[in-house]
Every structure is written in C-alpha cells, then in structure tokens.
Structure 1
Amino acid sequence: MTKPAESPGPPPEYPRYPEAPAPAYVPSQPRPEHDDLGYRHPPGTRVHYRARQRTADATALGRLALHLPGFLTSLLVVLGTTTLLEAWLGLPAWVPTSLWLVSGSLTFHRPSERFLARHLLRLQHPLPSELAVLAPVWREVTARAGVDGNRYELWIEDSDDLNALAAAGHIVAVTRRALERLPEAQLAAVLAHELGHHTAGHAWTGLLSWWYALPGRLAWLGLAAGTVKLIRIASGFSYVAAGILIVLFGWITFATLTLTYGLPLLLLALPYLSAAVGRRAELRADRHAAALGFAPMLSRMLHDVLAEETPASDDGGVLSRLLSTHPDHRTRLHHLQRHLELQG
C-alpha cells in the first residue's frame, strides 16, 4: 500500500537584513564655506512676480533677423524635398512642410526639452543632495528677479569646466564643478546670468535659429561634399573633365549670385555676425545679473577664472576670437566695472 504524501510545510524563514541605503552624493572636493554677500531675502519676505516673465530684447530679435536668409534657404530645401516625395509617394507637399514650420513650437514643449537635455546636451537630473544645494539658490535668484522659478527645470552637466547654460524654453544647467566649487553667492550670480538669457529671449531664439537653419546647412554640406567628390572622380579619368566640371560649377555659382543679387554671400558673413550677437547676449546677461545685485559676486568669479587661465589658453588668433560666441573675461569685467561703481 502506497504511503500518502506528506503535505509540504511552511517555507523556511530566512533572516531579514535591512536594505542598504542609497549611496549619498560625495563631491570630489568639499564645498566652500558660505559666502553670503547679501543676496538672500529675509525670511517671510513677500515675493512679487512680474507681469511679463520673459521678453525678446534687441539681441534676441537681431539673432532671428540674422538667420532669416538661412530660414528661407531651409524652406526652399524642405519644399524641394517634399515636392519630390509628393511625386514619389503621393504625399501632399504642404503636409510635411507645415509640420516642419510648426515644429519650432517644440522649443517650449517640456517632453521635447527633456529629450534635448538628456540626449543632445548630455545633461542629468540633479541628485537629491545636489538639488538641496541648487534649488534654494535658484529660488533666491528668481525671487529677486520677480520670476516664477518653478517654470524652469534645473539640470547638471557632468563636466570639469566651470560653466552653466540656458537652453530651449525652460532648461537651466550648471556643471558639477561649478556646483561643487563655487560659493553660494557666486553660484547665485551664475544662475542670475543664465536667467537673464531666458527672460531676454536669448535661449529660445538661439535654438529656433539653429533648428530652422539646419536643413539649409545640411543641404549645403551635402552639395559641397558631393561636388568635391565628383571633381575627384572626374580628375581620375581626365584633368580636362575635372576642369570642365570646375568651370561648370563656377558658372552656376555666378549665375545664382547674379539672379539673387548676391544675397548668398551674406551666408559667408553669417557665422561672424552671429558670433558677435552671441557676445552681445552674454554681456546683456551679465547686465541682468548685475541689475539684480550680483555684480560683485560675478566679478569675483571672473577674476578667479582669469587667474587660473594660462597665456596660451587665451591666445586663439583673431579668427577664433571673431567666431567666439562668448567675450573674453577681461571684456566682461570691464563692462561689470560700471555696475560695481554704482553699487559701491
């Protein structure tokens, strides 16, 4: 007779160990001691928000105007591409063209901004300990400016540079080195500078100018690379054929310039003009920070950065300086001097 199977008993109990806490953020070097230069609001102070949280100053509008030829070129490229798609796939050309025209609104679309921050700008969300340092300083800066700081998102750039950036419609980022090294008052001055880029419209106009000029820029790079490759192939068969191609492309270029009254030549000067506008935007952002009372903190930070620079790092040649979108530190200090004298 078969012995009935015994019913299984309860599973054995194993000792439970408390879960290990998440590792705390440990900076690579201790933060400087508090350097309060009077930027904090007294407790209980009522904050008044401005009616207009952001505008578009002359620098922002100038940047849009400079990129108008690039936008028109991109529009022609998109129209030509969509016309080919219409002939090939039967898709009406106005559909993708309209989608491209309205795509600029994604500048203020939060999910699109987060995608831009993570995958293109390589930014990271602040750790809780980083946010504990960054958020109170940001609240003080935006309260002094009369701006709702909750409209913006704070990010961290994993970089050893002492830098910060403002991008799209709501992105404000600082490098990890700036967060670790700068005293709170100087960190507040840097954030006030980046807030100035947002409130003056520099951030969103810069992104829009880059986005709407992208199709034309890609088409120009593809045309230039294809032309060079075609001439190299022709020169492999015959130098006469390569010479004919060069003359043909030269004639097409001359005819294009004649028909358009030389307007494409403006595209050659666009990088220099755009860089000059970028330098002006940086000085205006410095002025915004100085108007909020951060001129001494910003000046002290620039002096410290200037003292660390080597002579070779500041000598990039005339061409590189003309193409730089940021003024040198001495120029920024010169423009801050007036605010220091007024506040002194």
Structure 2
Amino acid sequence: MGILLLIITGLIYGLVGTVILHFINNIFALFGEPTILEQPFILDFLQKYNLPTHSFAISCTWVALFFLVAIILFQLPPVQGLFLKIKAISKPEGDLKNYLDACWQDVCNRAGVDAGRYRLYVQHSNQINAFALGHDRVVVLMGLINEMNSAELKGILAHELSHLIHRDTTYGMTSVAMLNVYNAIIIAFELIVWMITMVYNILRYIPFINILAVIFMAFILFIRFIVRILHSIANFGYVLLAPFGSRVAEYRDDRFAHELGLGQELASALAKLTRYGDTEGFINQLVSDHPPLRKRVAKLYELSQQQ
C-alpha cells in the first residue's frame, strides 16, 4: 500500500511539476534563452535511450532528476539529524533514559528485534505525541511520557516500532522530498511571473510597446491560471490518496501492538488521548491521516475479543 501510494504521489506531482517546468522553459525561450534546461548531459541521456528531446521530455527528465536527488538527500542521516536539531529533539539522559530504554527493550523483545538497531529521542514539549522518523528513530514528547503509565507507553512504542519495521517513515520521507521539489518548482514559476509583472508595469507606459506588453502579459496570466488549476488538482488528489494510505497503516500498526500483547495498553493510551479531541465530521475524517481515536480503540477491543 505504501509503495503504491508513493508511486501515485510521485506521478501526480511529477506530471504537474513537468508541465510547469515546461511552461517555464517556454517562457525563457520567448526571451531568447531556449537552452536553460537543454543541458548537454540531459540531451545525451535522452538520445542514448532513444527518447524524444522536445521541451516536455526535457522538463520531465529534470523533474525526475530533482526528485531523485531530493529523495537521496532526505534519506541521509545527517539531514534527518539536522531536522532533530531544528526541532530541539535530543537523546534522553539519566533516569529518563533508563526508563525509556527499559520500555523500548521490552517492546523489542516481544517483537523479536534488536533494540540496539533503533534510537530513542525526546522532545521537551507538552504535546502528547510520539512519532517515528527515518529508518531507525522514535521521538517521544514529554507530554506523552507524563500522561501515560509505562504499560500505555509500551503500547504506543509498539505502534511506532511497526512504522519503522514496515518502512512507513521511509515512504513518508520520500513523499516529503518530492513535495519539496514540487513546491520549489511552484515558487520558481511564481517568481518568474512576479519579475515579468514588474517589467510589464514599466513597459505599459511606453507607446506602441505597451500593446505588445499587454498581449504578452495576458498570455502569462493565462498560463498562470492553468498552473493554478493543475496545482489545485494535484493537491486535491494528494489530500484524498495520502491520508487513505496512512489510515490503513495506522490500523495495521495498532494490530501489530495487539500481536505483541500490548493491544489493551495501546487502547488505554488512545482512550486517554480522546480527552484532548478526536477527528469529527465526514470531511475531517476524509482528509485526516489518522483514523478517529474512538474507532481505533473499538478495533483494538474487537481484536481482544477474538482471542
């Protein structure tokens, strides 16, 4: 499911990003700079595999290259470590470290995995949350530690361990990498439109030239209108597809905790979280990347009754 949704996400944003980059390339061509994207190594690559070398194919190749570079960068431990520093996330120390290590060791023993393969981190925040990151990191917020007893904390850690085992976080980081590339293309396009608008505001006061400027600006605004429609379609598709995959993963990870003998402990922890709000309403549930807490608790209870 994760790989399928990742492919769909890449295709959606990759296609729209290619169209936008194609527009950017053609805008530069109007100014006499048709070779901005037509770099020799790109053309050589396309010709080597007998692929077309027109503007759209070149733009598609650039988007794929940007995606690949970003995906590799986002998977590197130093990049993930930088994220931890920015968010003021650090390794636990003293009694807190001993407490978390003991809980984590028990969960890993139940799962039959080496606890040393993974690393625990703490964020000093009052928010009640925990999340997996990258290939081997689990971050627990102090609000969660203070709210849950050790059994409930183990249930949550089992859920997060499942995310790592099933590589949900790897898929997540890959999606984030592609989204960042796509957003960079959008920003580049808007910046180009802004610069053209600045030039237009000067030229429109010059006789004769102003007529051509108005026509050209109308063309640019039309392209911008198309880009915004495509952008909205891409975001709408992502908002519908990505949360669906996440919700499926959440139920699977809850089941994983249940299989480790920590289902009721996780259910107790989730029940506590309902006091701080839950996902209500059809639309909110449709776009939420987590199922409603009450449904997750009910599912865990159902699993316990099946034993």
Per the normalisation by structure 2, the TM-score is 0.71
Give the AA of the match of 2:296.
Answer: R
**1:274 counterpart residue number:** 242
Query: What is the deviation of 1:303?
Result: 1.6
Q: Match for 2:271 among 289, 303, 307? A: 303
Answering whether residue 74 of structure 2 is matched by residue 132 of structure 1, we say: no
Q: Match for 1:172 among 110, 114, 138? A: 138
Given the superposition, is the C-alpha separation of residues 243 and 123 from structure 1 closer, same or farther in structure 2, using an over 3 Å criterion?
farther
Inter-partner Cα distance in structure 2 for 1:179 and 1:318: 31
Q: Match for 1:331 among 295, 300, 305? A: 295
Query: What is the deviation of 1:253?
Result: 6.3
Deviations 1:191-218 (A, max 9, x none): 0000010111101111011113321122
**1:66 counterpart residue number:** 8
Match runs of 1:8-87 below 5 Å: 58=1, 60-69=2-11, 70-71=13-14, 84=36
Which of structures 1 and 2 has the larger relative contact order (alpha carbons within 8 angstroms, sep 6+)? 1
**1:198 counterpart residue number:** 164
Q: Which runs of 5+ in 2 are unaligned?
A: 26-34, 46-61, 206-210
- Provide the secondary structure at the position in 1 that maps to 2:262: helix
Deviations 1:167-224 (A, max 9, x none): 1111101111222231111110000000010111101111011113321122124435
Give the AA of the match of 2:294.
Answer: R
The structure with the largest helix share of the pair is: 2
Are the equivalent residues in 2 in contact too, given 1:286–1:336 (CA < 8 A)? yes
**2:255 counterpart residue number:** 287
Inter-partner Cα distance in structure 1 for 2:226 and 2:262: 53
Query: What is the deviation of 1:85?
Result: 8.0
Are the equivalent residues in 1 in contact too, given 2:243–2:287 (CA < 8 A)? yes
Match runs of 1:97-176 below 5 Å: 101=68, 104-106=71-73, 109-119=76-86, 121-176=87-142
Query: What is the deviation of 1:318?
Result: 4.5
Task: Work out the number of aligned pairs and report it.
Answer: 270
The structure having more radius of gyration, on CA atoms, is 1
- Provide the secondary structure at the position in 1 that maps to 2:258: helix
For the aligned residue pairs, the C-alpha RMSD in angstroms reads 4.1
Query: What is the deviation of 1:265?
Result: 4.0
- Provide the secondary structure at the position in 2 that maps to 1:166: strand
